Structure 1
Amino acid sequence: MINKRYIALSLITALAFNACQQKENKDLASNMPLVKERNVLVDNPYKVEFPTVPTEYILEKAHIIENFYNDNINKAGYTGSFLVAKNGQIIYENYSGVADRYGNDSINSETPMHVASVGKVVTAVSVLRLVDAGKIDLDQSVSDIIDGFPYPEITVRTLLSHRSGLGYYGYYKNVWDVKKTVNNEDVINAINTKKVSLDFRPNSKFTYSNTNYVLLASIVERVTNKTFKEALRELIFEPLQMEHSFVFDDLSKKNQVTQSFYNNSKLQRWDYLDGTYGDKNIYTTPRDFLKLDTALYSDNFLSADLKQEMTKGYSYESKGKRNYGLGLRLIEMDNGDNYTYHNGWWRGNTSSYIRLAKDNVCIILFSNKYSSATYKTVSLSHHFGDYPVGNMEL
């Protein structure tokens, strides 16, 4: 026999729970002013027409994301910028910490952060945009573009995919005067004069090397006859209205940009390796970077063929699911899809960009105080589809 008192208590409990849940959802919604923003590129030539994300979906995912943030990021003493978007629409964001050495400037949605190797995505896209424009060929020899470059077998594609054989310039022995800042032309001169040798035969295997992306930035400069800062502004930042993004190429202004910190909150040092760009030294915000992520769904911004080239693997000499495309890391999953992302680290700056293209989801975290917690963002992915759970290497 059914206990009527039990039913009444159950109904009261359910109603109370629903009321609490509605209040929680209402409170959560009140902290998300961008819920109604359909698309960050809605008035842009490279806009993509996505369906509006239902409020119920936003509330459900935002609750999951907030719990993840509190349990994994906030507890780690993170400072920086965090954003998750679906269909180009922000469903959660959080900002914390300070941008300057004195603790006066709080980080907010307009604070440009040094995104370390996540900037390689931007460098790669700038090169691919020039390929689309017919200014460069993916399989063109670097020696055709950079005068005196001694390795004709190294191509634009092998630079983009880290298969050139060029070792990391930071490890060049007896080359640098540590009292002088190394710049892109210094790296090129060291290679051209053969002060360093190749680590392996070009296109024979994969080795991640920042030198590749220093050269790519310099290729962009030579092809456009502009500085890399100017070229990125014209190729990407201005077309996508990325108003808080720039290339940092003047160390005399190092105190005017967002500073980075050790994990004990002490200010990070600058040194002779901080002058190169393309591999790093790109500053942006999550909202700006979301504009780039959204534009990559547009065949008008980057052709479908090049996006396919960008997101496929090139290195199969070693077994495993991890690979590298053209400016993107990837995991080749059992379901046949490629999970694409890029992480970064430079000094106190850590960064993570995850692009779940099949589900139109973007996860971004930029921090200016060193923390390995940045790379835990991968654990959010499985809440948006059939994706892996676990940490990823840089």
Structure 2
Amino acid sequence: MKKITLLIAFLITIVSCKENTAATNISIKSKLETPQIQISDSIKALLDTLVVKVAKTNGCTMKAIIKGPNTFPYYSGFDARKNSKTTQFDDLFEIGSCTKIFTATSILQLVEQNKLNLDDYLTSILPNNKWYQDLLVIDGVNYIDSVKVVNLLNHSSGLPDYFLDDEEKELSMHSDPSQKFTSENLIDIAKANPNKDLFIPGTKFKYSNTNYILLGLLIEKLAHKSYQDYIKEHIINPLELNHTYFGSLYPENKRPRGYYKDTITLMPFTLAGPAGEILSNLEDMQTLIAVWNKGLLFEDPNTIKSVKNDDFKTMIPGAITYGKGIINIMDLSYGHGGQSFGYQSYVATVIPNQYTFALSIDDANVSAWYPAIEISRLLEGVE
């Protein structure tokens, strides 16, 4: 029966428009393992201990999901404000820069479609002099023509960020969720950023959200649709991520409430865009990273191999590197972290055994790095 289903899906794909993802929905889901066993009680207990520690230490709520290749998922959560365990795990949270996995994956899919190459220059695809004027001028030399697509993906472009280093000042400037920003607005803000640390493209690493705003523009130019529509058609729908939304398109009155230093904050989603505007829940994020890890979002198996092995730049010497939209923590896990101004999050797959996890913290001032590293270590030795 399974072979017949796959054959039907293949035939439908052949005769359908390439933009039709109905058959993809079936084929991708069918390739995920069916849960067979429970995660051990000892691993569950260790995760529970970590979650309670993070929540109580920081006075926040932390939630997490872990899952093995053929295990049932296990959820853990603790609300330190109520001093009680959490039993609700399907609520939405702002995934912040975990959005970059969606954006980078979309770019790599377009590479597979021969619509661009990683070594293509940004200005050859988006030749807009008004946007780029004075964006990357070092000692009187404009290096914008040297920025390649791969430099945007792994933050080696040298471009300034549009976010300030001072988070308190950033919050005071952009605390009105009704504010609307275009990509051009954000590029202009980056030009004026007093915290610029410009460098010649390809020579080092510096995290800049501007890179992913530009990647969003590349998606729109080459796919002839909004980046939201592309991601919905090629990632969200095929993976049946039924609880994943774009913040800028989501009803404001249903928006989840996160905190910054225990104060509710609501930043405008258009300030994040392709760099960090997505809302999701733990189950959907775990599904995303499990499918990504298997390479099922790509046609060519060499694509996921390249993502996992090539073009990494050093974030923290000897510990953390950044590749094409993905972070490698000490060769323990591939994933990505996210900070909005209401939440911190992390999603990852553990390298030795393909266990996956996702976590959310409802206070953006509480770092997700510590629990991400500890969960990676916890799951590393599981057989």
Q: TM-score, normalised by structure 1?
A: 0.72
Alignment counterpart, residue 327 of structure 2, candidates 326, 329, 354 = 329
Helix, strand or coil: the match of 1:358? coil
Aligned to 2:339: 345
Aligned to 1:267: 264
CA distance in 1, matches of 2:323, 2:334: 9
Aligned to 1:92: 74
Q: Is the 8 A contact 2:157 2:201 kept in 1?
A: yes
Alignment counterpart, residue 146 of structure 2, candidates 153, 161, 164 = 153
Deviation sequence 1:56-111 (CA, Å, 0-9, x none): x43332232223223333554332542111116443114566xxxxxxxx994432
Task: Give the superposition deviation at 1:289.
Answer: 1.3
* Alignment RMSD: 3.4
Give matches, 1:115-154, under 5 Å. 115-148=95-128, 150=132, 151-154=144-147
CA distance in 1, matches of 2:366, 2:49: 18
Amino acid at match of 2:65: L
Q: Is the 8 A contact 1:131 1:137 kept in 2?
A: yes
CA distance in 2, matches of 1:206, 1:365: 26
Q: Is the 8 A contact 1:237 1:245 kept in 2?
A: yes
Task: Give the superposition deviation at 1:285.
Answer: 1.1
Q: Is the 8 A contact 1:141 1:156 kept in 2?
A: yes
Aligned to 1:280: 276
Task: Give the superposition deviation at 1:329.
Answer: 1.5
Give matches, 1:313-392, under 5 Å. 313-315=311-313, 319-333=317-331, 339-372=333-366, 374=368, 375-385=370-380
Alignment counterpart, residue 110 of structure 1, candidates 67, 90, 104 = 90
Q: Is the 8 A contact 1:81 1:108 kept in 2?
A: no
CA distance in 2, matches of 1:131, 1:290: 25
CA distance in 2, matches of 1:169, 1:263: 22
CA distance in 2, matches of 1:222, 1:42: 25
Task: Give the superposition deviation at 1:305.
Answer: 1.9
Amino acid at match of 2:358: I
Q: Is the 8 A contact 1:115 1:350 kept in 2?
A: yes
Q: Is the 8 A contact 1:260 1:348 kept in 2?
A: yes
Q: Is the 8 A contact 2:66 2:356 kept in 1?
A: yes
> CA separation of 1:156/1:363 partners in 2, compared to 1, >3 Å: closer, same or farther?
same
Q: Where does structure 1 lack aligned partners over 5 or more consecutive residues?
A: 1-40, 98-105, 388-394
Deviation sequence 1:160-207 (CA, Å, 0-9, x none): 0000010111249xxxx979643223234677xx77888111111100
CA distance in 1, matches of 2:98, 2:33: 25
CA distance in 2, matches of 1:216, 1:246: 19
Q: Is the 8 A contact 1:58 1:91 kept in 2?
A: no
Aligned to 2:10: none
Give matches, 1:155-170, under 5 Å. 155-170=148-163
Amino acid at match of 1:376: P
CA distance in 1, matches of 2:58, 2:273: 29
Aligned to 2:28: 45
1:223 paired to 2:215: no
CA distance in 2, matches of 1:198, 1:63: 44
Amino acid at match of 1:249: S
Deviation sequence 1:295-351 (CA, Å, 0-9, x none): 124344223322222223532699534211111121354xxxx63232222212111
Aligned to 1:62: 44
**Which one has the largest radius of gyration?**
1
**Percentage identity across paired residues of the two chains:** 19
Q: Is the 8 A contact 1:249 1:275 kept in 2?
A: no
CA distance in 2, matches of 1:330, 1:221: 28
Amino acid at match of 1:377: A
> CA separation of 1:261/1:198 partners in 2, compared to 1, >3 Å: closer, same or farther?
closer
Q: Is the 8 A contact 1:76 1:373 kept in 2?
A: no
CA distance in 2, matches of 1:274, 1:280: 9
Task: Give the superposition deviation at 1:144.
Answer: 2.5
Helix, strand or coil: the match of 1:283? strand
> CA separation of 1:195/1:54 partners in 2, compared to 1, >3 Å: closer, same or farther?
closer
CA distance in 2, matches of 1:332, 1:82: 21
Q: Which sits farther off after the overlay, 205-214 or 322-331?
A: 322-331
Q: Is the 8 A contact 1:309 1:325 kept in 2?
A: no
Q: Is the 8 A contact 2:93 2:360 kept in 1?
A: yes
Helix, strand or coil: the match of 2:346? strand
Q: Where does structure 2 lack aligned partners over 5 or more consecutive residues?
A: 1-23, 80-85, 133-143, 166-172
Q: Is the 8 A contact 1:353 1:365 kept in 2?
A: yes
Helix, strand or coil: the match of 1:355? strand
> CA separation of 1:59/1:227 partners in 2, compared to 1, >3 Å: closer, same or farther?
same
Aligned to 1:73: 55
Q: Which sits farther off after the overlay, 292-301 or 349-358?
A: 292-301
Count of residue pairs the alignment pairs up: 326
Q: TM-score, normalised by structure 2?
A: 0.74
Q: Is the 8 A contact 2:314 2:320 kept in 1?
A: no
